[in-house]
Amino acid sequence: MAAAVLPNDDFYTNTDDKSLEIFSLIWLDANVDVKDIRDTEVKLRSIINHIKKFQDVKQCRHYIEHRSQKDRLVIIVSGRLGREIVPYIHQLRQVISIYVYCIDKKSNEQWALKFSKIKSVVVNLDELVFQITTDHKIQKKIEEPLSINIFSTGINAGKSTTGVNGQFVFSQLLVDCLLQLKSTDTDENELIKLCVNEYEGNHNELSNLREFQEYYLPDKVLWWYTKETFLYKILNAALRTQNIHVIFLFRSLIYDIYRQLQKYQSKKFVRVYRCQLMSNDELDSLKQNIGQFISISSFFSTTDDRSTALFLLGDITTQIDSQRVLFEIDADPRMVNTKPFANISKHSYFPVESEVLFMIGSIFRLNNIGRNDDQIWIIKMTLCGDDEHDLKQVLMYMKQQIESREMNLRILGNLLWEMGKFDLAEKYFTRSLKQLPWNDPLHISLYEDLGKLASQRGDYDLSMKWRKKLLRFKEKTSLATNVNVNRTNNSIEQSILFNYININTKWKQHGITIAGGHEKGNQLNQLSFPEDIYVDDDHLSIYIADCYNHRIVEWKYGAKNGQVVAGGNGIGKRSDQLNYPRSVIVDKKNDSLIICDQWNRRVVRWSRQNGENGETIISDIHCYGLTIDKNGDLYVSHSWKNEVRRWKQGGREGTIVAGGNGKGNHLDQLNCPTYIFVDKDHSIYVSDTHNHRVMKWMKGAKEGIIVAGGNGKGNSSTKLSNPRGLIVDHLGNIYVADWDNHRIMRWCKGSKEASIVVGGNGIGKQPNQFSYPTGLSFDVQGNLYAADCDNHRVQKFEIDLN
């Protein structure tokens, strides 16, 4: 080649550098003309941004061999150096194609014929650019690695939270977290800066980035995603390599794609196809898991045209090191409950391509793998829902940990901590600290988390540093409220005599533990995250939804132990089992318990006389709260559908009485309704949890009115923070379990401000403290009972007669 040599500092020197894209281009040539190579680089970077140049074979080989098998490398070599290096790198999975750029085409073609990955031997740079551009249009579709998680349903496999099944479950939870976590200006600025740094000197991509900043709209996200720009290249690479922080920065765009897929969700059954090149190991892993579930950790692009998919595999007579694979997928929209799919052709940058796109984390059952006459492996799969029988228990158990909490960086950090991503957990804990007001009580939880995390990593000096910060914070502020985990509950029909309650009634500030209080456990004197309570004065007892013990416990007044009256036979879906019961009420007319059996998606009736089994009275409902009116009509909140329905006795269909207009904060909408209460006039009161307010829907109303909170999340006297348990007294005063603020609040009828009834002394185990209060109830004398969820106890607060 020409004689001019590039300066040494323009060549590879750092083995640790990493591109944010999947594809990289490696150029190995001892002597290249400076001007020619720079002009060609500009053209190639519009196709593959990351280019590394080498003059030394040893350095180049070392770099290639130490790339991940999930990288995809396109190699340009001179004739002489190609003879040296190609025999050593040709078999590597990360090397997908090689181009020989030389003067003597004929002699180099002779040795090149032995290596199938050598796509062509060229003698001028324009031809080189043309060949790479043409081949890359196919390669980017079939060579991009799939990040696949496998869920095994062998004996006890569903209980796994580590290893293979753990990766599957945590990848599902991560997507759910990111979809709920709102993006900030700081995140968006960091994303733009990251892209600017990645594409420095790439004028084509920087122009795309400027256009994106100026003209992007959420309803155009599919157009942007399918266009060959930074968005597709970096996002897809991050998803396939599980670069969590980059995924975190892209989360608002992921959410926009999710909403567009929901909007255009396919309405009928489709069979779709996708071609892929896979290594023998990748294919063998799938062969060993036929009949199991897999999830794809990225957006999954397919086509409903089989011939289009097969065309991408090229000449099947050519011998290659990889295996040619055709995915054949049956997708029924009736199976979709969380992960949508849609034909996006009309909204794509390439409308002629009949593309069907599946959401990140879509779950498929691996039905069969076989080879056809053309030696192509056919992998047949079926789209599944999250509540598929074999998956349901483990997924629902884990989702319980994050569901119905307003997502924040601390929750994401704790999830990553469980995944073993300690650096990222620390990153998001400290990121959260920087975003908080100086006196926000969430500082306490974050300092505690950072101290424990440092100890777990063996950095005890750092652990002490965080603990000292915690103590200093507590000294500076008395606002010792804190945020942790989500629980729920509900209120009930009140047959209570309110003779003891008036506008001036006060309750003693130190509660008496009347159930549980012996740490978390499943013994008869223990509870595990009690969610709801029902005080039955007629029987001098209290019923408790002992959620994580999957049972309902009756605790007699003054008793030291409870008695299991429903469930208690382990987690499950049999008629004698419960699966995270959230709410319980007594139907005195029928002498039975009615239970929200949340993760079995049913409401069950359990006789108080011979309660060995429950009877399903409402099915296919993700119930949250229950209440019953004086006519015996049942009211159920549906947190996922953001609605409350009433079921007439014996009725088969429920009628929407609150919400039902999608998730939102308008007066006709709800955002995660949890606890509910019905008064004598059949007005419905709803803890509108994620809107941080309580809504009242009068009988027959088309929209509700705000009767408590509604001023954003906070701990002032005008605000609530993820409200839970709810009671309304005979005067119309509203009592709310202010969950995140660890207190019980009273909103007097018509008032814009509330007063603290009990609690509000920070999170803790003392008699005057709560740790996430949930269910509330009064007894006939007006004493107040609260399920102190994370303290695994029920507290009684007596009326203060002084």
pLDDT in tens, 299-309: 999 999 999 89
Residue 727: CATH number of its domain? 2.120.10.30
Whether 619 and 722 share a structural domain: yes
241 and 352 both lie in a single domain: yes
Q: Which bin fits 637, alpha (ψ -120 to 50), beta or left (φ > 0)?
A: beta
pLDDT tens track for 171-180: 888 888 888 8
Query: Do 675 and 789 sit in the same domain of this protein?
Result: yes
Task: Give the amino acid at 227.
Answer: K
16, pLDDT greater than 60: no
How many CB atoms are closer than 10 A to CB 525? Answer: 14
Amino acid in the structure at residue 67:
R
Letter string b/e over residues 723-753, b meaning 16 or more CB atoms within 10 A of that residue's CB:
bbbbbbbeeebbbbbbbbbbbbbbbeeeeee
Q: Is residue 664 in a domain?
A: yes
What average pLDDT score do residues 368-394 get? 82
Residue 585: band (very low, low, confident or very high) from pLDDT cuts 50, 70, 90? very high
Is the same domain home to 216 and 267? yes
Length of the chain: 802
d(CA 357, CA 341): 6
Are residues 387 and 413 both part of a single domain? no
How large is the average pLDDT for residues 326-332?
A: 95
What is the reported pLDDT for 386? Answer: 67
User: Does residue 312 have a pLDDT over 80?
Assistant: yes
Of the three residues 399, 420, 440, the one that is the final residue of a domain is: 399
Residues 641 and 718 in one domain: yes
**Stronger pLDDT, 319 or 402, i.e. the higher one:** 319
pLDDT at 151: 81
Q: Judge whether 600 lies within some domain.
A: yes
Residue 566 has pLDDT above 70, yes or no: yes
Domain boundary among 111, 142, 173: 142
Rounded to the nearest 10°, the torsion over CA 524, 526, 529, 534 is 60
CA distance 588 to 492: 12
- Report the percent of the chain where pLDDT is more than 70: 89
Give DSSP secondary structure letters for 249-305.
Answer: HTHHHHHHHHHHHHHT---S-EEEEEEEEE-HHHHHHHHTTTTSEEEESS-EEEES-
Q: How many structural domains comprise the chain?
A: 4
- Backbone angles phi and psi of 423, in degrees to 5: -60, -45
Question: pLDDT tens for residues 69-86?
Answer: 889 999 999 999 999 999
Based on the domain organization, do 599 and 543 belong to the same domain? Answer: yes
Residue at 458 is within a domain: yes
CATH number at residue 346: 3.90.176.10
- Cβ–Cβ contacts within 10 Å for residue 153, how many? 16
Q: What is the C-alpha to C-alpha distance for residues 10 and 448, in angstroms, rounded to an integer?
A: 47
Could you read off the pLDDT of 257-295 as tens digits, one per residue? 999 999 999 999 999 999 999 988 889 999 999 999 999
User: What is the per-residue pLDDT for 274?
Assistant: 95
The CATH number assigned to the domain holding 136 equals 3.40.50.2300
pLDDT of residue 12: 35
Q: Is 528 in the same domain as 506? A: yes
Q: How confident is the model at residue 387 (pLDDT cuts 50, 70, 90)?
A: low
pLDDT at position 257: 96
Please name the residue that has the structure tokens 């009273």: 746
Give the closest residue to 656 by CA, choosing from 693, 686, 617.
Answer: 686
- Mean pLDDT of all residues in the chain? 86
Residue 695: band (very low, low, confident or very high) from pLDDT cuts 50, 70, 90: very high
CA distance 325 to 305: 15
User: For residue range 47-63, what is the model confidence (pLDDT) as tens digits?
Assistant: 999 999 999 999 999 99
Q: Which secondary-structure segment (H or E) carries 593? A: strand 592-597
pLDDT value at residue 155: 42
Q: How confident is the model at residue 399 (pLDDT cuts 50, 70, 90)?
A: low
Q: Is residue 485 part of a domain?
A: no
Residue 122: partners with Cβ closer than 8 Å, 6 or more residues away: 99, 100, 101, 102, 105, 128, 131
- 355, 335, 330: which is closest to 345 by C-alpha? 355
pLDDT at 547 over 60: yes
Q: 389 lies in a domain?
A: yes
pLDDT at residue 501 greater than cutoff 80: no
Does position 492 have pLDDT exceeding 80, yes or no? no
Q: Alpha-carbon dihedral of residues 198, 201, 205, 208, nearest 10 degrees?
A: 110
Does a structural domain hold residue 491? no
Q: Does the structure show a pLDDT above 90 at 591?
A: no
pLDDT band at 610 (very low <50, low <70, confident <90, very high): confident
Domain boundary among 107, 142, 177: 142
Q: What is the pLDDT of residue 480?
A: 35
Q: Which helix (H) or strand (E) holds 584?
A: strand 581-587
Chain centre distance of CA 726: 28
Q: Between 151 and 689, where is the model more confident?
A: 689
Q: What is the mean pLDDT of residues 195-199?
A: 94
- The conformation of residue 504, written as its DSSP 8-state character, comes to T
Q: Is residue 1 in a domain?
A: no
Say what the pLDDT of residue 30 is: 81
Query: For residues 204 and 263, is the Cβ–Cβ distance under 8 A?
Result: no
Average of per-residue pLDDT across 132-140:
90
Among 191-195, 416-420, 758-762, which is the least confidently predicted range?
A: 416-420
The reply to whether 487 falls in a domain is no
Give the angle 710-716-717 at the CA atoms, nearest 5°: 75
pLDDT for residue 400 is more than 90: no
Cα–Cα distances (Å) from 525 to 68, 227, 513, 779, in that order, read 54, 61, 12, 22
> 102: which residues sit within 8 A by CB, 6+ positions away?
1, 78, 79, 82, 108, 121, 122, 123
Q: Are 40 and 103 in the same domain?
A: yes
| Least reliable range by pLDDT among 415-419, 511-515, 788-792 | 415-419
How crowded is residue 68: how many other Cβ atoms within 10 Å of its Cβ? 12
Same domain, 124 and 156: no
212-240 average pLDDT score: 93
Reply yes or no on whether the pLDDT at 26 is more than 90. Answer: yes
Q: DSSP code of 490?
A: -
Domain range enclosing 543: 498-797
% of the chain with per-residue pLDDT over 90? 61
Whether residues 555 and 571 fall in one domain: yes
Whether 792 and 710 map to the same domain: the answer is yes
User: Which conformational region is residue 782 in: left (phi greater than 0), alpha (psi within -120 to 50 degrees), or beta?
Assistant: left
